[in-house]
Structure 1
Amino acid sequence: MHAVESPATAPSAPAAPSTPDKPGARVPRRRRREWTPLYLALPALILLAALLAYPFGRMLVVSFQDMQLRHLFSGATPPWIGFDNYTQILTDGVFWSVVLRTAVFTVVSVAISIVLGLAVALLMGRVSNAVRVAMVITMMFVWAIPQLVSAQIFKWMVDADFGVLNYLIDKIPGVDFANHSWFADPKQGWIVITTLVVWAGIPFLAITLHAGLTQVPHELREAALVDGASAWQTLRNIVLPVLRPLLVIVTTLSVIWNFGLFTQVWALRDSKPEQEYQTLATYAFTQAFGRSEYSVGSAISVVTVLLMLGVMAFYIRQMFQIGDVD
């Protein structure tokens, strides 16, 4: 006959985990850690908002007005026309062709920059220390050159009359490149512009990605080699997964920078870019200050900012996620 356990001797059920339901309960450490990146970035965000609030607010107000040159001289308040400027640009085929051109250039230039930057970073990991230091110093000089100066250098290199590029190509047997104009054909012109942007962007990408490659565990690479993995398999299955957060960050930054292309086009086309070379930045500037349609230019700028907000939000989100990694 089995004895019946008394309530005093019966095993007690495990206690339920306590939850911070009371007002004075402590916030879990995990939750506090999730908010830490935001707290650290908050001072910088407040400073940037303070610096950009008035210019962006003023531009937003002007985009809803009909500001002309006479209003600038007289100081009179321009008439309020609501969404007419936005209706004008959003129904304009030229505007959408500029948007498409800017987007295509951004995708192509960023893709080429990332591939070449990663290739240079991988090369830096295989050369001697002296060669690596020389590469870093050289790329830092390239990175330090102002955009206007580098654009002028490329402009002289591809000059139709005295450019060294035409001179070298003309030396190839059977090729006649004397007095060749690279910008007469928009495709060739955009090749020059893209080459300039990629050349200027590789130093940042290569040095940053090389720093990321140093964080790839050497044991993983050795294990892959022992298992018979090829160099491509090691890169695809080991290196790239480790570099993925960093690749997302530098790609997003490159998209933001290249999408706002202005200086290179403006300098290479002598401050008068043709329709085939217009980007969103140059198009807004041309409309505002070239044709004195300040409200239309402001509306184009506002739309450009809205197009970039998604990319910037994605970038900030990735930064916070990286900061939250254990």
Structure 2
Amino acid sequence: MTVDSQGAVDSASADTPRGAASQTPPPASGPGEAVPPPRGRRRMPSGILPYLLIAPAVASMAVLLLYPLVKNLILSLQQLNRREMITRETVWIGVDNYTKLLSDPDFWNVVLRSLFFTAANVALIMGLGTLIGLLLNRLGKAMRLTLSLALMFAWAMPIVASVTIFRWLFDEQFGVVNWLMRTLGFAGYDQHNWFETGFSTLVIVTLLVVWGSVPFVALNMYAGLTTVGSELYEAAKMDGAGGWRTFWSVVFPNLKPFFLITTFLEIIWVFKAFAQVYAMNLGGPDRGSETLPVYAYIEGLGQQHYGLAAAISILTIVMLLAAMSFYFRLILKQEEEQ
């Protein structure tokens, strides 16, 4: 029995490969093999995480922006006047509101007025803002701080408060501007009505909009100028370049993206300006100072043509999208050149 058992043991030992352990360990993973994650913990796919992070922002934008836009588009396809509001009747008329607007000379007059109003404001804002930004870059600390605070106060002024101040400045009887013109010796400014025509009203609105928007451009211009190296100014000075030559050859090329995006933002803000135009003179006199946002508001809440007002707002959005696509192409072209 002893011999047989020992022989069995020896036989089993002979059958087993030399150097093998009783329990073979798992093979080590090579550099190209993926190591499985620990049990109990699931790894989130890397492609899903960015979408989950932006999901709350996208959901809020869909609720606050997309739903009103779709609702407005639906209203623009309906005849929704006072009668339909009382009877709660839905009358679908297709694109009749759009054809009515596109064939209305008054609508095109408002469009042209809005375009000229936007172009004049943006040109003045960008020009004055750039000059004040250059001035901030040349001033000392004390004067720079004083001017920056003054710009911030003008920028932070509520729109209704600033409109009230400008209406008082140009008041027919107690206005400071009429008093100043009489003091300087100009005749015909005794109780002169500055809001007599739509053009003069828009001129005053332009002064208000420029006054409130220049600080944004000026402060951003100064911030951009701090990124331009002093060695570039020294090189331009050694080459004998003057102030304007230095601006066009040194400052403008380095701050071209700033000018593009700032101009783009100002076009949007000025084109959709509503409170300044409406609060100044309610779009008058005789609706002569209406821009597209004010025109849509008066047609909607004033005339109770809600379907037509919705169509006006949709056409306004289309015009802004056309301007946005143009400037996006310029920005993308600028990035490709860099």
User: What TM-score range do you get, normalising by the shorter chain?
Assistant: 0.7 to 0.9
Q: Distance in 1 between matches of 2:333 and 2:155?
A: 28
Q: Contact 2:297/2:309 (CA < 8 Å) preserved in 1?
A: yes
Q: What is the TM-score normalised by the length of structure 1? A: 0.82
Displacement, 1:273?
5.3
Give the direction of change, closer, same or farther, for the CA distance of 1:251–1:293 in structure 2 (3 Å limit): same
Does structure 1 residue 49 correspond to structure 2 residue 62? yes
Inter-partner Cα distance in structure 2 for 1:312 and 1:49 = 20
Report the CA distance shift for 1:84/1:212 in structure 2 as closer, same or farther (over 3 A): same
Matches within 5 A, 1:102-117: 102-117=114-129
1:319 to partner: Cα distance? 7.0
Q: Specify the code of the residue in structure 1 equivalent to 2:66.
A: A
Counting aligned pairs with the same residue, the percent is 38
1:160 aligns with 2:172: yes
Aligned amino acid, residue 224 of structure 1: A
1:293 corresponds, among 290, 305, 309, to 305
Q: Could you tell me how far apart the structure 2 residues matched to 1:189 and 1:222 are? A: 47
Measure how far apart 1:71 and its partner are: 3.2
Deviation at 1:322, TM superposition (A): 8.2
Q: For the Cα contact (< 8 Å) 1:109–1:258, is it kept in 2?
A: yes
Q: Distance in 1 between matches of 2:172 and 2:83?
A: 41
Where in structure 2 are there 5+ consecutive unaligned residues?
Answer: 1-50
Q: Counterpart of 1:14?
A: none
CA distance change for structure 1 residues 39 and 115 in 2, over 3 Å: closer, same or farther? farther
Query: For each residue in 1:116-140, what CA deviation from the matched residue of structure 2 results, as whole angstroms up to 9, or x when unmatched?
Result: 0000000001111111111111111
Cα distance in 2, alignment partners of residues 302 and 198 from structure 1: 27
Relative distance call for 1:39 and 1:223 in structure 2 (3 A) is: farther
Which whole-Å CA distance do the structure 2 matches of 1:161 and 1:43 have between them? 54
Question: 3-state DSSP class of the match of 2:288?
Answer: helix
For 1:276 and 1:257, locate their aligned partners in 2 and report how far apart those are by CA, in whole Å.
21
Task: Find out whether 1:67 has 2:72 as its counterpart.
Answer: no
Superposed, 1:246-265 pairs within 5 Å as 246-265=258-277
TM-score (norm. length: structure 2)? 0.79
Tell whether 2:197 aligns with 1:171. no
Taking a change above 3 Å as real, the CA distance of residues 91 and 115 of structure 1, as seen in their structure-2 partners, is same
Change over 3 Å in CA distance of 1:257–1:215 after alignment to 2 = same
Query: 1:121: which partner in 2?
Result: 133
For residues 164-188 of structure 1, the C-alpha deviation after alignment (integer angstroms, 9 at most, x for no partner) is: 1111111112433110011213332
- Counterpart in 2 of 1:83? 95
In the alignment, does 2:71 pair up with 1:58? yes
Counterpart Cα distance in 2 of 1:142 and 1:317:
33
Shift of 1:321: 7.9
Correspondence for 1:145: 157
Deviations 1:294-314 (A, max 9, x none): 100000000001111123345
- 2:43 alignment counterpart: none
- 1:311 corresponds to which of 278, 303, 323: 323
Partner of 1:101: 113
Q: Which runs of 5+ in 1 are unaligned?
A: 1-37
Shift of 1:42: 8.2
Q: Structure 1, residues 201-260: CA drift from partner, whole Å, max 9, x if none?
A: 001010011101111111011001011111110001110111110011110100000001
Secondary structure class of the residue paired with 1:251: helix
2:228 is paired with a residue whose SS is coil
Name which of structure 1's ranges 314-323 and 46-55 shifts more when overlaid on structure 2.
314-323
Q: Distance in 1 between matches of 2:124 and 2:322?
A: 22
CA contact (8 A) 1:249 1:318 kept: no
Residue 227 of structure 2 is aligned to residue 215 of structure 1: yes
Write the distance in 2 (CA, Å) between the matches of 1:314 and 1:174: 46
CA RMSD of aligned residues (A): 2.6
Larger C-alpha radius of gyration, 1 or 2?
A: 2
Q: Give the structure 2 partner of residue 274 of structure 1.
A: 286
Residues 59 and 224 from structure 1, CA distance in 2 versus in 1: closer, same or farther, beyond 3 angstroms?
same
Question: How big is each residue's C-alpha offset from its partner over 1:52-89, in whole Å with a ceiling of 9 and x where there is no partner?
Answer: 11111111001001112243344x34111001100000
Q: Which amino acid aligns with 2:175?
A: G
Q: How far, CA to CA, are the matches of 2:218 and 2:308 in structure 1?
A: 39
Structure 2 matches for 1:28-47, cutoff 5 A? Answer: 44=57, 47=60
Question: Which of 295, 300, 306 matches 1:283?
Answer: 295
- Contact 1:161–1:179 (CA under 8 A) maintained in structure 2: yes
> What amino acid does structure 2 have at the position aligned with 1:128?
G
Contact 2:257–2:334 at 8 Å: present in 1 too? yes
Specify whether residues 221 and 205 from structure 1 end up closer, same or farther in structure 2 by C-alpha distance, changes over 3 A only.
same
Q: Distance in 2 between matches of 1:174 and 1:284?
A: 39
Task: Quote how far apart the aligned CAs of 1:265 are.
Answer: 1.4
